[in-house]
Amino acid sequence: MRRIVVIGSINMDVVSNVAQFPKPGETIHSRDTSFFPGGKGANQAVAAASAGADCVMIGAVGLDPFGNTLMDSLKDRGVGVNSVLSKKGTSGIAIITVNEEGENYIVLSEGTNGRLTEEDVAAEVNWDGVYAVLLQNEIPWETTQYVLQSANKAGVRVWLNPAPARNIPEDLFPLVDTLIVNETEAEVVSGVKVEDFASAEKAAASMIDKSTASVIITLGEQGCYYANGRGEHFKIPAIRVKPVDTTAAGDTFIGAYAAACTEGLGTEEALRFATAAAALTVTRPGAQSSIPTKEEILAFMNK
């Protein structure tokens, strides 16, 4: 089986559930608080492995009480962790507040994620047999740029999810095989405000004009839009569910899509699989704890 490598963040998510978000200066009571292993990189790795991919993680955790818990969570879901480093300091922590509608606010403390260097990655990465590398934006940008260049030189596909959103230098677009963004990220990267499929088409065209091979724009409850440099484009509708917690929905989509692609599914079929995985995720609380298995995704699709 072709391997997926995820290079990115590993966090402990501290999730507080509230009726409504507080106003500035307001103190409110939380209904409960839970601790969930998360981080965009780790979430995508868990999603890929849970959906059937051979997946390994390169990242860093701290020498704090969360470090072993985060490593165990990855291992328990089938992710290879031999290249996850333990560094001095605290692990990454995300403070997440979730309201009754399943919407969330997230405050991120990068911890050891912010100290994952290109030297760390160079010492751990092996591109032999790798189908694709998944990247986000919760480790130093210099490290991400190194991976883009190294993977491209080795002929490995690079799937970039620039989240949190940031501008991408013009010379890096040609190194990205697939750019995966939500509405907010698409606007930052392309300069086009994305609200629907029509505006998503314009944003995708702008990014493809900069020599990115293909673009996927997720549009929440509307679904997702795909386009590539060969002129192919289509939209996939969302699956209607009642959301409980939207944390990790985008990461699940990306990891599940990667897993489906490694099994040889066509792009449209892989996106439908990923859409189902994300829909199932938002019906459950937490980050990695909400990510479904391949069997669960297929059963959900067959309903």
Which residues participate in catalysis according to the annotation?
251
Contacts within 8 Å (CB) and 24+ apart, 206-213:
207/173, 207/179, 210/170, 210/173, 210/174, 211/173, 211/174, 212/173, 212/174, 212/176, 212/177, 212/178, 212/179, 213/176, 213/177, 213/178
* Beta carbons of 271 and 226 less than 8 angstroms apart: yes
> Could you give the 3-state DSSP secondary structure of residue 249?
helix
Residue at 121: amino acid letter: V
Task: Please give the torsion angle defined by the CA atoms of residues 14, 19, 21 and 22, in that order, rounded to the nearest 10 degrees.
Answer: -100
> Could you give the 3-state DSSP secondary structure of residue 125?
coil
The packing angle between helices 267-281 and 294-302, to 10°, is 100
CA neighbor of 5 nearest in space, from 84, 72, 61: 84
User: What is the number of other CB atoms lying within 10 angstroms of the CB of residue 99?
Assistant: 14
CA distance 272 to 181: 17
CA distance 121 to 150: 10
Q: Tokens representing 16?
A: 């507080």
CA distance 227 to 2: 24
Output the CA–CA distances (angstroms, integers) from residue 274 to 159, 215, 236, in the order listed: 15, 15, 10
